[in-house]
Every structure is written in structure tokens, then in C-alpha cells.
Amino acid sequence: MSVSFIVFIIIHVCILVFFVESLRRITKRAHEYPLEETSETLPFGFLRLRHVVIAYVIVYLLWILFSIWIYFVFVEPTFFSASPESGGGNNLMLNL
């Protein structure tokens, strides 16, 4: 396992800890301060807290998938490509 992959994993674990802590705080505050959901109290008249949290989770998962794809395209391009002897794959490796 390369050093850049280890750093990549550490960054993602730290972001995951932040993500879980954010969700924990949201649920804690939602139970501490119950809000009435009326058209006057909701942003745009329809946006509920659960919609924001679901969007947050979806964006987080997409970010994870996108960052993994970026890692394997630019940092470890030979991971998915053909062997170097056959001349397969583009060499886009960043010099990290």
C-alpha cells in the first residue's frame, strides 16, 4: 500500500468522523428544540430538516465515490488499466 493511498484513507476517515458528528448534533438539536412545521417556518414553504439531511448524506456519498474515482485516475492510474508492457491506459499520474 502506497503512502498516498494511506493518506487518502486517513483523510476519508477524518471526514467520515466529521460527517457522523454533524448528523449526531443535528438529531440532538432537533430533539432539544422541536419546531412546528408550517408554511411560515419552513424555508421555501416545503423544505424540511429531513430533506436537508437526506441531501447531505447523498452529497457525502457522491463525494466519496467521486474522490475515489479521482484518486484512481490521477494518483494510481495503473490500478484499473492494462499492464504497462501492452501500452494500455493513459499516464496521468500526479507526482505526489
Q: What ranges do the domains of the chain cover?
A: 3-86
The answer to whether residues 88 and 81 touch, using CB atoms and an 8 Å cutoff, is yes
What's the CA gap between 10 and 38, in Å, rounded? 42
Give residues with Cβ within 8 angstroms of 73, minimum separation 6.
92
Task: State residue 62's pLDDT score.
Answer: 92
More confident residue, 49 or 94: 49
More confident residue, 64 or 33: 64
Task: State residue 21's pLDDT score.
Answer: 93
Q: For the segment 3-54, what is each residue's pLDDT rounded down to a tens digit? A: 877 888 888 889 889 988 988 998 888 788 776 777 766 766 667 777 888 8
Task: State residue 77's pLDDT score.
Answer: 72
